[in-house]
């Protein structure tokens, strides 16, 4: 899809002209006012649409009235969702060109307008032998050109991420993630098993041992002169989570190719970072491996030593993400960065608590957590702070090691948080649990089912706002 900025969107010869309408209000199209409101009693409820033919009387073939809902509830987030709805509708009708005339929408809305159109434009059909070409090719709008171009880059990053996370585990292996990282044109170092051993990453390597796939520790670097800040972003990179010897039941295993969604988000962000040339140094870090129950698999009761020397008794091999993140966090802290942010499909408990509408967030710095929550809110994601009180560590106490990797079933997202905290040193840190938001079973707002690109829009905007 290409978004073209025009002076007057009503002059464009398009398949569809979209005009908007608040509940109980009017549109800017006389035709629409006459037929939609007058004859058919269209109310303009949020994201409802109404279509009418122009029979050659206008430059556009059809008019789509897009309901924006109650005026007092309207905001950029609502616009994004509604625009996505209009694009989906246009796709159903196989319209190729759509012009938007949204007069009540000012400058501040340009970014979310574009995000809505571009996110709706996504599909994952590479494994369909018959592909339907029902994409909208051109969108016309009166908007701010620079903001539209910014949104295009963020949306491209999301698409990049969604493609990787939707890819089956047979293809999206640790080796493949490393190859993708190396292709981004950034300075990138990939550590193999032996090098990770030398670095003392006993927790990460234990998780990968049960798989025939080689583990890869990936470090991408974006440098600028005199950075205002130095940030490391870490993505959980479990390319498939079978649970290991504590094998998952079939129904829980079904979507576990998505357990590298955090890693996919880091790759998406790093794939566009240079185009924005932010004055921030950014490190993208992924500890990639599979959690499988092969003959060399790590076992319940094993004691692992992480990079910082702490020992961990394996209580459950299905709590593997925190083990890989433990070593990744130690590595990131040693870089001497100002902030570390990790994104991980970490706990079913987080999904139980917040559903698919919000990711859980925790951290050791209030300002960082608050900033991320508000950046998410402005950009179409929701982050909700969960507690990370020291008491949650009680259930992780081990008789024979420094800690266990799991404890009580209750408050599982917070327990995972306090576990991770043991591997964070002298740095501001936030942990984002995207277990519920990274991979959708059903369409939700502007997103179709499957990988959602969770974390990408928020973290990119966060980096750009520094
Ligand atoms: N990858 C899962 C968490 C997950 C669950 C992500 C559902 C997305 C959807 C993680 O590795 C896991 O298995 N967590 C366990 C932890 C438990 C053993 C303490 C869980 O949540 O059940
Ligand atoms: Mn697991
Ligand atoms: Zn997992």
Note the pLDDT tens digit of each residue in 308-334.
999 999 999 999 999 999 999 999 999
Instruction: Considering the candidates 62, 78, 307, 322, report the single residue annotated as catalytic.
Output: 322
Report the atom number in ligand 1 closest to the C-alpha of 405: 19
Longest dimension (CA), the chain: 81
The secondary structure of 298-341 as a DSSP string is --TT-EEE-TTS-EEE-S-TT--HHHHHHHHHHHHHTTT-SEEE
Quote the tokens at residue 45: 């409820």
User: Distance between CA atoms of 12 and 140, rounded to whole angstroms?
Assistant: 8
* C-alpha of residue 465 to centroid of ligand 2, in Å: 34
**Closest ligand 1 atom to Cα of 320:** 11
Is residue 321 within 6 Å of ligand 1 at its C-beta?
yes
Tokens of 309: 């020397």
The position carrying tokens 């929701």 is 382
Q: Is the pLDDT of residue 103 over 80?
A: no
Nearest CA to ligand 1 atom 16: 319
For residues 298 and 459, what is the distance between their CA atoms, to the nearest angstrom? 33
Rounded distance between C-alpha atoms, residue 300 and residue 308, angstroms: 21
Under 8 Å between Cβ of 124 and 163: yes
Asked if 222 and 186 count as a contact pair (C-beta separation under 8 A), the reply is yes
Q: Quick check: CB of 348 below 6 Å from ligand 1?
A: yes
The per-residue pLDDT for range 420-452, each reduced to its tens digit, is 999 999 999 999 999 999 999 999 999 999 999
Which of ligand 1's atoms lies nearest the C-alpha of 406?
A: 19
pLDDT for 105 equals 72
**Paired tokens of 211:** 């798989």
- Judge whether 230 and 338 are in contact, CB under 8 Å: yes
Tokens 């070593």, residue located: 327
Average pLDDT, the chain: 97
Question: Looking at ligand 1, which residue's alpha carbon is closest to its atom 5?
Answer: 348
Indicate if the pLDDT at residue 413 is higher than 80.
yes
Phi (first) and psi of residue 35, to 5 degrees: -90, -50
**How far apart are the C-alpha atoms of 217 and 232, rounded to whole Å?**
14
Pairing of strands 49-53, 62-69: antiparallel
Mutate to test the pocket of ligand 1, among 210, 236, 318 (most ligand atoms within 8 A of CB): 318
pLDDT of amino acid 106: 73
DSSP string, 29-73: -HHHIIIIIIIT-----TT-EEEEE-TTSSSSSEEEEEEEE-GGG
Q: What is the pLDDT of residues 265-314, one digit of tens each?
A: 999 999 999 999 999 999 999 999 999 999 999 999 999 999 999 999 99
Please determine, for residue 353, whether its predicted confidence score (pLDDT) is greater than 70.
yes
| Alpha carbon distance 369, 384 (integer Å) | 10
* Average pLDDT, integer, range 379-394: 98
Q: Are 86 and 78 in contact (CB under 8 A)?
A: no
Best residue for ligand 1 mutational test, from 165, 346, 415, 441 (most atoms within 8 Å of Cβ): 346
Which residue from 254, 267, 322, 321 is spatially nearest to 291, judged by alpha carbons?
A: 321
Residues with CB under 5 A from ligand 2 (ion): 241, 318, 320
* All structural domains of the chain: 2-136 (3.40.220.10), 153-464 (3.40.630.10)
Please tell me the distance between residue 454's alpha carbon and the centre of ligand 2 in angstroms: 19
What pLDDT was estimated at residue 107?
72
* pTM reported for the whole predicted model: 0.98
- Comparing 38 with 379, the larger pLDDT belongs to 379
Q: What is the reported pLDDT for 168?
A: 98
Q: Report the alpha-carbon distance of residue 375 to residue 361 in Å, rounded.
A: 13
Whether 229 is a known active-site residue: answer no
Give whole-number Cα distances, 34 to 30, 300, 458, in Å. Answer: 6, 71, 42
- In this structure, which residue's CA is closest to atom 17 in ligand 1? 319
- To the query of whether residue 209 is one of the catalytic residues in this protein, the response is no
Q: Is 351 in the pocket of ligand 1 (CB under 6 A)?
A: yes
Q: What is the pLDDT of residue 39?
A: 87
Give the whole-angstrom CA distance, residue 352 versus residue 373.
Answer: 20
Phi, psi of 223 (to 5 degrees): -110, 145
Q: How far apart are CA 1 and CA 9, in angstroms?
A: 17
Q: Is the CB of 347 inside a 6 Å radius of any atom of ligand 1?
A: yes
Can you tell me the mean pLDDT for 386-408?
Answer: 97
Portion of the chain with pLDDT greater than 90, in percent: 97
Cβ-contact 174, 213 below 8 angstroms: yes
pLDDT above 80: residue 348: yes
Q: Is the CB of 444 under 6 A from ligand 1?
A: no
Decide: 290 in ligand 1 pocket, CB within 6 A.
Answer: no
Residue 345 CB less than 6 A away from ligand 1? yes
Element containing residue 429 per DSSP (H, E)? strand 428-433
Burial string for 6-42 (b: 16+ CB within 10 Å, else e) reads eeebbebebbbbbbbbbbeeebebebbbebbbeeeeb
pLDDT of residue 428: 99
Using DSSP's 3-state secondary structure scheme, residue 19 falls into: strand
Gap from CA of 445 to ligand 2 centroid (Å): 28
The atom of ligand 1 lying closest to the CA of 246 is: 18
Mean of the pLDDT values across residues 383-410?
97
Exposed, middle or buried by CB within 10 Å (0-12, 13-18, 19+), for 287? Answer: buried
Pocket lining: 356 vs ligand 1, CB cutoff 6 Å:
no
Q: Point out the catalytic residue in the list 43, 229, 248, 378.
A: 248
Q: How many residues are there in the chain?
A: 466
| Pair 262, 342: CB distance under 8 Å | yes
Model confidence at 405, in pLDDT bands (50, 70, 90)?
Answer: very high
| CA 307 to ligand 2 centroid distance, Å | 21
Token representation of residue 185: 């044109």
Q: Are 139 and 117 in contact (CB under 8 A)?
A: yes
- Digit-coded pLDDT (tens) for 207-218: 999 999 999 999
Q: Which protein residue's CA is at the shortest distance from atom 8 of ligand 1?
A: 435
| Candidate of 242, 347, 356, 455 to mutate for ligand 1, largest count of ligand atoms within 8 Å of Cβ | 347
- Closest ligand 1 atom to Cα of 345: 6
Closest CA to 239 of 194, 203, 199, 292: 292
pLDDT at 104: 67
For 160-199, write each residue's pLDDT tens digit: 999 999 999 999 999 999 999 999 999 999 999 999 999 9
């Amino acid at each position: 899809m290409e978004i073209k900025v025009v002076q007057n969107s009503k002059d464009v010869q398009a398949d569809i002209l979209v005009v908007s309408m608040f509940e109980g209000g009017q549109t800017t199209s006389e035709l629409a006012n006459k037929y939609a409101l007058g004859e058919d009693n269209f109310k303009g409820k949020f994201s409802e649409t109404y279509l009418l033919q122009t029979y050659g009387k206008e430059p556009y073939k059809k008019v789509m009235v897009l309901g924006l809902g109650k005026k007092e509830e309207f905001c950029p987030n609502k616009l994004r969702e509604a625009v996505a709805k209009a694009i989906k509708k246009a796709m159903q009708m196989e319209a190729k060109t759509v012009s938007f005339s949204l007069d009540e929408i000012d400058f501040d809305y340009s970014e979310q307008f574009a995000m809505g159109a571009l996110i709706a434009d996504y599909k994952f059909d590479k494994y369909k032998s018959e592909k339907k070409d029902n994409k909208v090719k051109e969108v016309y709008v009166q908007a701010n050109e620079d903001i539209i171009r910014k949104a295009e880059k963020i949306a491209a990053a999301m698409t990049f991420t969604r493609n990787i996370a939707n890819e089956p585990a047979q293809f999206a292996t640790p080796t493949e993630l490393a190859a993708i990282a190396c292709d981004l044109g950034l300075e990138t170092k990939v550590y193999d098993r032996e090098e990770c051993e030398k670095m003392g990453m006993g927790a990460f390597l234990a998780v990968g041992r049960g798989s025939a796939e080689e583990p890869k520790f990936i470090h991408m670097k974006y440098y600028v002169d005199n950075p205002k800040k130095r940030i490391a972003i870490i993505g959980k990179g479990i390319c498939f989570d079978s649970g290991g010897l504590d094998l998952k039941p079939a129904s829980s295993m079904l979507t576990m190719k998505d357990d590298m969604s955090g890693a996919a988000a880091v790759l998406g962000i790093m794939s566009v970072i240079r185009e924005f040339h932010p004055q921030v140094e950014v490190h993208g870090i992924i500890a990639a491996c599979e959690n499988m129950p092969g003959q060399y698999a790590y076992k319940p009761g094993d004691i692992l030593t992480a990079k910082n020397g702490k020992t961990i008794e394996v209580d459950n091999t299905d709590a593997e993400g925190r083990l890989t993140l433990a070593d990744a966090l130690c590595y990131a802290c040693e870089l001497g960065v100002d902030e570390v942010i990790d994104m991980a499909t970490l706990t079913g408990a987080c999904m139980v608590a917040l559903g698919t509408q919000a990711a859980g967030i925790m951290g050791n710095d209030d300002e960082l957590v608050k900033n991320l929550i508000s950046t998410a809110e402005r950009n179409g994601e929701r982050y909700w702070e969960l507690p990370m009180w020291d008491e949650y560590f009680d259930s992780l106490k081990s008789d024979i090691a420094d800690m266990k990797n799991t404890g009580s079933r209750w408050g599982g997202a917070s327990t995972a948080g306090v576990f991770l905290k043991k591997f964070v040193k002298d740095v501001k840190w936030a942990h984002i649990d995207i277990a519920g938001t990274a991979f959708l079973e059903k369409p939700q707002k502007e997103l179709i089912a499957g990988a959602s690109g969770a974390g990408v829009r928020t973290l990119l905007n966060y980096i750009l706002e520094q």
